[in-house]
A and B are shown apart, each in its own frame.
Chain A
Amino acid sequence: GQQVMQIPQYQHVQEGEDFTTYCNSSTTLSNIQWYKQRPGGHPVFLIQLVKSGEVKKQKRLTFQFGEAKKNSSLHITATQTTDVGTYFCAGPGEYGNKLVFGAGTILRVKS
């Protein structure tokens, strides 16, 4: 079935460094969503991208959807300790009837 592959699996950065996680698909995605899960918490919706080449920003977070709508990225500028957690992308499943979540990228920030 449809899968969204997410890399890296894990990243440990120094506070103030930038961080990027990537989500890739072998097929065109109609949309992609991003979620954040804090340690011990549950996933919380961050944003949805729908248009080819779309770029959206939320403070230090920048989300991009590729021109071919097969990949997406989340970039965090100048990470803070509050950014720690797991970031998941989610795209349509094989039959388009439900979202399929990537494996997630675990971000740890060292202060």
Chain B
Amino acid sequence: GAGVSQSPSNKVTEKGKDVELRCDPISGHTALYWYRQRLGQGLEFLIYFQGNSAPDKSGLPSDRFSAERTGESVSTLTIQRTQQEDSAVYLCASSLAGSILYEQYFGPGTRLTVT
């Protein structure tokens, strides 16, 4: 079946521009997560959506970062006024439910390069 998909796969943008990254979770998965992974580094949690609950935004690094999710489907991560330190792979993951007992399925990621 279809896994988690993300678009675009690669994005090169100029410093100061806004970018929008998209994630399509697995159908029926109520939980959705965004992570940032810098080159050779671990997974940095950004934001978590679970059903209709208020999202957990505790990992967003600054107010330039925001994310939305439409119901239990598509999510978009927006970075405003991009900076070079925003360059990273942005990974989206979904799970059947918000419980930590469910495995997370990751998308292929969006590689963002800010020049």
Q: Which residues of A contact B (CB under 8 A)?
A: 30-31, 33, 35, 41-45, 48, 50, 88, 90, 92-93, 96-104, 106
Contacts and interface: CB of A to CB of B under 8 A. Distances in A.
Contact of A44 (B42, B43, B100, B106): B106
B108 A97 contact: no
Interface residues of B, number: 21
A47 to B, nearest CB: 9
Nearest to A86: B42
Given A42-B107, A42-B109, A48-B101, A100 B45 contact: yes
15 contacts: A31-B100, A33-B104, A35-B104, A42-B91, A42-B108, A42-B109, A43-B104, A45-B104, A88-B43, A97-B100, A98-B48, A98-B56, A98-B98, A99-B104, A104-B42
Given A42-B91, A43-B43, A88-B42, A99 B100 contact: yes
A50 B102 CA distance: 12
A33 B93 CA distance: 14
A101 B100 contact: no
B100 A102 contact: no
B97 to A, nearest CB: 12
Contacts of A90: 104
B81 to A, nearest CB: 27
Nearest to B109: A42
